């Protein structure tokens, strides 16, 4: 008897052959139906989500993680809006990347094509169900989705809506598959099903990502884990620095683009902390710092342990370390960064340029919040993840990350 993983991956593979050559208008029609269904089925989705929320509370899930799990009417409307924005994006399939003619007369074209079937393994955030499905459909790919057990009722409701939209557009509902059995043992089967799965993308915490990378025999992309840093230089505008830090830490602490560690130049440590600490107290942020920082606010800043520098909190906790130069800040980032997003706050163009040049992360900012590392903010539409590796994509992954290419060669009887 076929397992759920095998049967759904096989069905997705067979359906992908239909979608690979579908016209842009057909794909966009399906996305339009999906957006409409999200809005019309809003209450059904919320009811399912409330079951997940209640179960998560019973299990003691943190407030930050509950926020990631929650679906409200406004969030569902935002998701539907995101789907419509993808409709407006150019179709990434069938784009001629290069073309040339060889001396023997062969005409060679390099043209984008879908990847095939993409397996998404993710946690908590049910909006990923829609983001992944929509980006896969637009880029001509089928997908097999495996969300976390904590969001299973929400994901079932959302997948039902997506399948309904596909059917209304005349496309196979098998293009989007959700694994409803949440047994973790099944993930290994999915990650090793090379005959049907072309790419695996994990989206979640460091533990999930490492499990996928270490288990997969299919190609996979490392995403998400975000120990993000902000370095406030001695030449920084301190009021600007406080605004950036507050946004990067507080606006959505559970996301991978939230900052975790503040590096502060020793020359402006006192002045910055005098402005920053009251703001962090107001925002209920727990501060953990090195000896130099704690000397200034020993009753407020707790002692930072060595493990703090290598921890992605996903919560209202921030570590603070004093550095003597931009070189020391860069050295700290090189040691502890997950190569996601880093920011320097400075008014010195030379220092900014050094930071941009020497910090090796997917997104490196000058005088801006790390929270901008996001497919929507980059203008990509909905996002399937943020790659922290260098092959074949890096940073926020939009439609262009979900295609490969092939060579098309026209001849007139040439032989070699």
> pLDDT at residue 179 above 80?
yes
Question: In this predicted structure, what is the pLDDT of residue 185?
Answer: 84
Backbone angles phi, psi at 146, to 5 degrees: -130, 95
Q: Is 300 helix (H, G, I), strand (E, B) or coil?
A: coil
pLDDT in tens, 68-117: 899 999 999 999 998 999 999 999 999 999 999 999 999 999 999 999 99
pLDDT in tens, 264-309: 999 999 999 999 999 999 999 999 999 999 999 999 999 999 999 9
Section 19-37 average pLDDT: 97
Q: b/e string for 199-230 if b means 16 or more Cβ within 10 A? A: bbbbbbbbebbebbeebbebebbbbbbbbbbb
Displacement of CA 85 from its chain's centroid (Å): 17
pTM tops 0.75: yes
> pLDDT at residue 382 above 80?
no
Question: In this predicted structure, what is the pLDDT of residue 379?
Answer: 83
């Amino acid at each position: 008897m076929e397992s759920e993983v095998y049967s759904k991956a096989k069905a997705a593979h067979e359906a992908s052959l239909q979608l690979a050559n579908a016209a842009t208008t057909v794909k966009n029609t399906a996305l339009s139906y999906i957006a409409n269904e999200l809005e019309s089925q809003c209450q059904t989705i919320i009811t399912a989500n409330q079951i997940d929320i209640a179960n998560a509370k019973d299990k003691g899930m943190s407030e930050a993680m509950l926020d990631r799990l929650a679906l409200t009417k406004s969030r569902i409307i935002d998701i539907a809006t995101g789907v419509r924005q993808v409709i407006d994006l150019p179709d990434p399939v069938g784009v001629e990347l290069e073309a040339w003619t060889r001396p023997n007369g062969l005409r060679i074209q390099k043209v984008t094509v879908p990847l095939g079937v993409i397996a998404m393994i993710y946690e908590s955030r049910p909006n990923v169900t829609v983001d992944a499905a929509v980006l896969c459909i637009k880029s001509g790919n089928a997908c097999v989705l495996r969300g976390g057990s904590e969001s299973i009722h929400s994901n079932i409701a959302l997948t039902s809506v997506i399948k309904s939209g596909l059917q209304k557009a005349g496309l196979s509902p098998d293009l989007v598959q959700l694994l409803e059995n949440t047994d973790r043992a099944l993930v290994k089967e999915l990650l090793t099903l090379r005959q049907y799965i072309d790419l695996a993308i994990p989206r979640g915490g460091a533990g999930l990502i490492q499990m996928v990378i270490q288990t997969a025999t299919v190609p996979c992309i490392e995403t998400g884990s975000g120990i993000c840093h902000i370095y406030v230089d001695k030449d920084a505008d301190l009021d600007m620095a406080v605004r950036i830090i507050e946004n990067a830490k507080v606006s959505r602490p559970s996301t991978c683009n939230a900052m975790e560690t503040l590096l502060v130049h020793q020359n402006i440590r006192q002045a910055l902390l005098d402005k920053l600490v009251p703001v962090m107290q107001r925002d209920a942020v727990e501060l953990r710092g090195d000896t130099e920082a704690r000397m200034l606010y020993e009753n407020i800043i707790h002692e930072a342990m060595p493990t703090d520098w290598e921890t992605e909190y996903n919560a209202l906790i921030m570590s603070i370390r004093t550095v003597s130069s931009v070189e020391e800040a860069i050295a700290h980032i090189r040691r502890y960064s997950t190569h996601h997003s880093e920011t320097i706050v400075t008014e010195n163009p030379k220092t900014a340029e050094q930071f941009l040049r020497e910090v090796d992360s997917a997104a490196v900012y000058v005088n801006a919040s790390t929270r901008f590392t996001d497919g929507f903010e980059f203008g990509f539409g909905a996002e399937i993840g943020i790659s922290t590796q260098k092959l074949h994509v890096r940073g926020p992954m939009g439609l262009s990350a979900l295609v490969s290419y092939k060579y098309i060669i026209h001849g007139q009887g040439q032989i070699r």
